[in-house]
Amino acid sequence: MNKILRLIFLMLFTIVLLTEGTNTPSFAQERTISIIVDGLPVNFDVPPITKDGRTLVPFRAVSEALNVPVSWDEKSKTVTASDGITSILLRIGDKTAYRNSAPVTLDVPPMVVNGRTLIPLRFFSEAFGCTVEWDEASYTIRIFSPRRKMAVIGFYALGDSRTSSWTNLFGKPYPEHSEGNTDAVSELALGWYSLDKDGSLLTQSATGWQRPSGWEDVLKAASLYNLRTEMVIHATDSKRDISELISSKEAMEKLAEAIAEESKLYSGVNLDLEGLGLDESQEQLLKTRQNFTSFVRILSEKLDPSKTLTLTLHAPNSAYKGYDYRALGAIADRIIIMAYDYGSSPEPVDKVLQAIEMAKAEVPAEKLILGISMPRETAESLLTKIGIAKRYKLLGIALWRLGLVTKDQWEVLRNAVEPVSFHEIP
């Protein structure tokens, strides 16, 4: 019996030792909490912690993800943040915070952990109009930023009855119309024109881009629902037509004059000339880039100053290197980055981020628009792509194309973006 008692005592003593060895501070947790803002993960040098059921995070990382400027005052131990409309103030160890000078009682005060100032995530996010959701299963906090003013361009091209741009936009079969989804876009890129190597402006092309019968009805409906319009000139260089065009000063002048004349019907012009610079030698690539830039400059000089000039370009990390982003960005009003066709669906976030980083190194963010291929995205992945445009403070997004936008995707657009003319963007 004594042996049995000694054995039981030894087991209990071992259990107590193991239990003591696993005690942790009240704010630690075994699982790491993930923070996702608009579909994009937030990286922290100090991981988020939980204290009394509330999550605290390093303030600079979350403020940068939400584009809210913050500052730290070492002397008073306070964090202040303002987006120009809302301002908050938090003090280390103090459960009273201030939003627009009004006191707010916090469940948990800000604290310093491992040399980093941590603040209550939900208070900070909701103070700036975000929605915060907790996913217990994945130990993830998802934050959705408020609608942001952006240019939202919808490419309008021909389709069959199932993928009609008209019906998808105006909510009814042609020629009837209603508000439909016009509240979710701010302008139309009308894919109605092409070109030939001699500099002729065409309303039909071998690639299927053409101006439809009844095109005037589209312009009238666009005006009725306050949508800007740009004429799109689309061509590919598969037969070297673009390369030959831009190597001839006479052909470039001829085409630019024709575009300038036709643009009187629209708010602006969108050049979508694809396929330049594939597998060219360094010398030939330089010449291609110079020639294309020359054509854009000629066109810009011939356009009425009231007309916008937009370029739809392959992403800088694509196989097509015939576009000098820096030079083109200095001429054009806007550049749409076709950050898609990377080979998988949805489009890989790392490739899209790389494209934006490369473009931003050459062109101001306020001139850049993220092109999104709608059939290659889900509603969830669309939110992530919009989140990229928000985080990098881009001018807006462009949707390829109307007719292919699903009901769920329209809902994502409405919740994430306030579409406005780019002239109205702060």
pLDDT tens track for 331-382: 999 999 999 999 999 999 999 999 999 999 999 999 999 999 999 999 999 9
Backbone angles phi, psi at 413, to 5 degrees: -60, -45
pLDDT tens-digit readout, 51-83 = 998 999 999 999 999 999 999 999 999 999 999
Q: Check whether 15 has a pLDDT greater than 50.
A: no
User: How far from 305 is each of 42, 267, 299, 302, CA to CA, in Å?
Assistant: 42, 11, 11, 9
Backbone angles phi, psi at 419, to 5 degrees: -75, 125
- Secondary structure of residue 304 in the 3-state scheme: coil
Least confident of 12-16, 149-153, 288-292, 352-356: 12-16
Q: Check whether 17 has a pLDDT greater than 50.
A: no
Quote the CA–CA distance of 378 and 384 in Å, as a whole number: 10
pLDDT tens-digit readout, 92-141 = 999 999 999 999 999 999 999 988 899 999 999 999 999 999 999 999 99
Quote the CA–CA distance of 267 and 187 in Å, as a whole number: 9
User: How far from 416 is each of 27, 34, 385, 409, 419, CA to CA, in Å?
Assistant: 33, 21, 11, 11, 10
Backbone angles phi, psi at 383, to 5 degrees: -60, -40
For residue 209, the model assigns a pLDDT of: 83
What value does the mean pLDDT of the chain take?
Answer: 92
CA 142 distance to own-chain centroid: 18
Return all residues near 219 (Cβ < 8 A) that are at least 6 apart. Answer: 229, 265, 266
**Of 419, 343, 356, 381, nearest in space to 153 by CA:** 419
User: How far from 297 is each of 7, 119, 234, 290, 330, CA to CA, in Å?
Assistant: 90, 50, 18, 10, 10
Q: Check whether 255 has a pLDDT greater than 60.
A: yes
For residue 99, the model assigns a pLDDT of: 97
Return all residues near 67 (Cβ < 8 A) that are at least 6 apart. Answer: 83, 390, 391, 393
Domains assigned to the chain: 34-144 (3.30.457.10), 148-424 (3.20.20.80)
Quote the CA–CA distance of 397 and 28 in Å, as a whole number: 40
The whole-model pTM stands at 0.91
Q: Dihedral through CA 271, CA 272, CA 274, CA 276, nearest 10? A: 20
Quote the CA–CA distance of 378 and 380 in Å, as a whole number: 5
